[in-house]
Amino acid sequence: MIVDLHVHTNISSRCSSLTPEELVCRSREIGLDAVCVTEHSTFKGAQENYAYAKKHGFLVFRGMEVFTELGDMLVFGWEENVRYYLFPFDELKAEVEKRNGIIIPAHPCRGEADVRHRNSRDLQDELLEAIVAIETRNGSLSHMSNEFAEKLAKKHGLFGTGGSDAHHASHLGMCVTVFDDDISDEAELIEALKSGRYESCYFEELEKKRE
């Protein structure tokens, strides 16, 4: 099952031009089985995209991207809005654990330009205690940054996920997570992410295998 696990739309992300209609049409066009909408610090956009996609027979998972002092986190299983900037990681961890959710650091090796990008060289101990996976393929990053994330994952025995981090229709599916099993809802997605039965890759790699 091919899933783009990191997508932003114009419903709740002002930095994105991607509409729900474009999300469904483009995802089908390139052969994605599902996407996960992860708006910044709000569940609203994910819910609206889910509802629209359901009417048109396409699967959208609902998540969120949260800014913390340990970096940007993809959150699955917490369906509430949070403070936009620098939400305390310990509070995030506690709330997600209550709901049997999962936290996955997004683009962990993007750089050290500000406090949210502290993991370029290694992962914080506090972070490692709370995660089982990191994003090792991000469509907005260079191949070098993604390769470094892959090395960090291997170093710490973590699983790796892939997502486009799309803010425009043309970016959808650039990086994906390929699951061994079919997934139908967020509860199954969370269990699958915890199981490690998946791999991250560039979409172009999948296309070459199909040839």
Torsion 205-162-22-169 (CA) sign: negative
Cα 147 from Cα 12, distance rounded (Å): 30
Q: State how beta strands 159-163 and 133-138 pair.
A: parallel
Residue 166 structure tokens:
């799309």
Q: Residue 83's pLDDT is what?
A: 75
In the predicted model, what is the mean pLDDT of residues 176-193? Answer: 97
pTM summary value: 0.92
Residue 117's pLDDT is 53
pLDDT digits (tens, 9 = 90+) for 3-52: 999 999 988 777 788 999 999 999 999 999 999 999 998 998 999 999 99
- Contacts with 3 (C-beta within 8 Å, 6 or more apart), sequence order: 32, 33, 34, 35, 36, 61, 176, 177, 178, 179, 183
What's the token pair of residue 94?
């506690």
The reply to whether CATH 1.20.58.220 applies to domain 2-210 is no
Determine the average pLDDT of the residues in 176-189. 97
Mean pLDDT of 55-80: 95
Residues whose CB falls within 8 Å of the CB of residue 145, separated by 6 or more in sequence, listed in order: 107, 109, 110, 111, 138
pLDDT at position 211 is: 58
pLDDT at 118: 55
Say how far apart CA 33 and CA 178 lie, in whole Å: 10
Reduced to 3 states (helix: H, G, I; strand: E, B; else coil), residue 108 is coil
In this prediction, residue 209 carries a pLDDT of: 67
Average pLDDT in the 178-182 region? Answer: 97
| Residue 113: partners with Cβ closer than 8 Å, 6 or more residues away | none
Interval 98-154: pLDDT, tens: 999 999 999 998 864 444 555 557 898 999 999 999 999 999 999 999 999 999 999
Q: Domain spans of the chain?
A: 2-210
- For residues 60 and 44, the model is more confident at 60
Residue 60 is classified by DSSP as E
pLDDT at 17: 86
Whether 67 has a pLDDT exceeding 60, the answer reads yes
**pLDDT confidence of residue 12:** 76
pLDDT at residue number 111: 65
The pLDDT of residue 207: 72
Q: What is the pLDDT of residue 127?
A: 95
Q: pLDDT at position 80, please? A: 84
**Between the CA atoms of 69, 73, 79 and 85, what dihedral angle is there, to the nearest 10 degrees?**
40
**Mean local confidence (pLDDT), 70-99:** 91
Q: Is 106 helix (H, G, I), strand (E, B) or coil?
A: coil
Residue 156 has pLDDT above 50, yes or no: yes
